[in-house]
Each structure stands twice: as C-alpha cells, then as structure tokens.
Amino acid sequence: MLFRFSKLGIKYSLLYLALFLVAFIYAKLTISESPLSSIFIMILTFPWSYISIILLFVLNIIDTISTGTKLMMMLGYAIINTVILYYFIYKKFEKSKKAS
C-alpha cells in the first residue's frame, strides 16, 4: 500500500498545533489570575472539550479534577483534532489528485 503525505494537511495541522500551543501556554501562565484564560483552549478543542465538561458536570466531579489534569485532557483533545484535520485535508487532496 502506497501512502503519500499531504503537504497541505501537514501545514494546516502544524498551524492548528501552533495555535493550540500558544493558547496552552497563555492558559498555563494566567490560570491563577483569571479562571477564564483557558477559554481559547476550549474553543480550539471543540467538540471534545464541551462533551467532557458536560459529562463532568452531570457526574458532579468537575471540582475534584485538578486544573493540570483538565489541561492535559485538552492536550489529548487537540491531538485528536489534529489527526481529524489532517485526515480530512488528506482525503480532499487525494480526491483532487485523482480528478486531475
């Protein structure tokens, strides 16, 4: 099986990861001053972050999980979104190559 890399997919995935890294550093540095500093991370990790927050509220364990653990969960969600983003761009790139 021949597997080709999508240069466009890699570029968009790296851009997404760079945005997430900036938001992660900002949240890590300012979380003690402003509890809403992680809102950028939640926006970038949509829909996984919202699903997990809703589940944590329903299970009533939102206050028992530390902030560091929540940030690490968001890191996992960012990796999932990066893989999905690359996959969609790769499939679109593959279809346009076959059409040409």
Report pLDDT digits (tens) over 23-77: 999 999 998 898 888 899 999 999 999 999 999 999 999 889 998 899 899 999 9
pLDDT of residue 3: 67
pLDDT of residue 93: 79
Distance of alpha carbon 48 from alpha carbon 77, whole angstroms:
6
Nearest to residue 25, comparing CAs of 3, 10, 40? Answer: 40
- Which three-class secondary structure state does DSSP give residue 63? coil
Nearest to residue 70, comparing CAs of 94, 89, 45, 34? Answer: 45
Residue tagged 């997430």 (tokens): 20
Q: pLDDT digits over 9-30, tens only?
A: 999 999 999 999 999 999 999 9
pLDDT of residue 12: 95
- Predicted TM-score of the model (pTM): 0.86
